[in-house]
Amino acid sequence: MVAAVRALAFVTFFLVAGASPHAWGQAEPAPPEYVPPGHEPEPPPPSPLKWHIAVDARLAVPLGARPAGLDIPVGWGAGVQITRALVNFGNLRFGLGADFAYQRVQDSHKNTISMNDLPEDLSHMTFAGLLVFDGILGRFRPWLTLGGGFSVAQFNNPSLDNVTPEVHTTAVLPLVQLAAGLGIEIKRNIDLGLGGQLDLTFNSPSVGQPPVKPFEPGLFSVRVDVGFRF
């Protein structure tokens, strides 16, 4: 009789314990996003694409007072940029580069004697070394550059009456350059970008009556570029 009672108690204990959701220290399953200690995923490696070479076409807008007769509001230009990433901060990088560009604003006037159309033009040929901050964020390539160099600037204004003297001025000016933009990868290692660039020049000579400094404060340009990364 005693043995039967003990057996019945033993069976009852296991039935009650098995019915309890927390029996035997059973825990709820871990959430899917749980990562055990020591198994954290490693960050993605830095992009192997360090070099970037781009060519661009641009619209150039003179800043400040313009010489008399140069009434056209916008000119044209083209440029080449070469950059190299040196230090990675996750998907962001710091590097160095160089920018070479030619920008020109040109108007046309008729000579009152010969009735020929004569050009009046203002141009900058710029060379700048750059500090480059950029990123590779999926297909997007934001970038910012800051640099300095010089501009070989030229201004030509013909005589329209064969009496007023012509003006031909060339100067080499210090240059500060700031640019920013965004590229989008359209094909492996090839991106298409849009950006804005500010070329500030200083120490311009004065020309004309009333006198103006045709090369100050510089140009603002809107760039469309195609780049290759490797």
pLDDT digits (tens, 9 = 90+) for 13-49: 555 555 444 444 455 666 766 667 766 666 667 788 8
* Per-residue exposure over 107-122, b if at least 16 CB sit within 10 Å of its own CB, e if not: bebeeeeeeeebebbb
pLDDT at 2 over 60: no
pLDDT digits (tens, 9 = 90+) for 169-226: 999 999 999 999 999 999 999 999 999 999 999 999 998 777 889 999 999 999 999 9
Mean local confidence (pLDDT), 226-230: 96
Q: Using omega within 30 degrees of 0 as the cis cutoff, is the peptide bond preceding 217 cis?
A: yes
* CA separation for the pair 183, 198 (Å, rounded): 18
**Residue at token pair 């004065």:** 206
Contacts of 35 (CB under 8 A, 6+ apart): 41
Q: What pLDDT, on a 0 to 100 scale, did the predictor assign at position 69?
A: 75
pLDDT digits (tens, 9 = 90+) for 95-115: 999 999 999 999 877 666 666
Q: What pLDDT, on a 0 to 100 scale, did the predictor assign at position 40?
A: 64
* CA separation for the pair 155, 208 (Å, rounded): 11
* CA separation for the pair 197, 100 (Å, rounded): 12
E strand map for the chain:
51-63, 75-89, 92-110, 117-135, 140-157, 167-187, 190-201, 218-229
Q: Which two tokens stand for residue 92?
A: 């962001």
Q: What pLDDT, on a 0 to 100 scale, did the predictor assign at position 124?
A: 97
**Residue at token pair 């970037």:** 52
Q: Which two tokens stand for residue 53?
A: 């070479």
pLDDT digits (tens, 9 = 90+) for 71-95: 888 999 999 999 999 999 988 999 9
The residue with greater pLDDT, 21 or 161, is 161
CA-to-CA separations, 118 to 62, 73, 108, 113, 166, in angstroms, rounded: 20, 18, 6, 12, 11
How far out from the chain centre does Cα 110 lie?
Answer: 41
DSSP state of 207: B
Q: What pLDDT, on a 0 to 100 scale, did the predictor assign at position 94?
A: 98
51-229 folds as Porin (2.40.160)
pLDDT digits (tens, 9 = 90+) for 126-148: 999 999 999 999 999 999 999 99
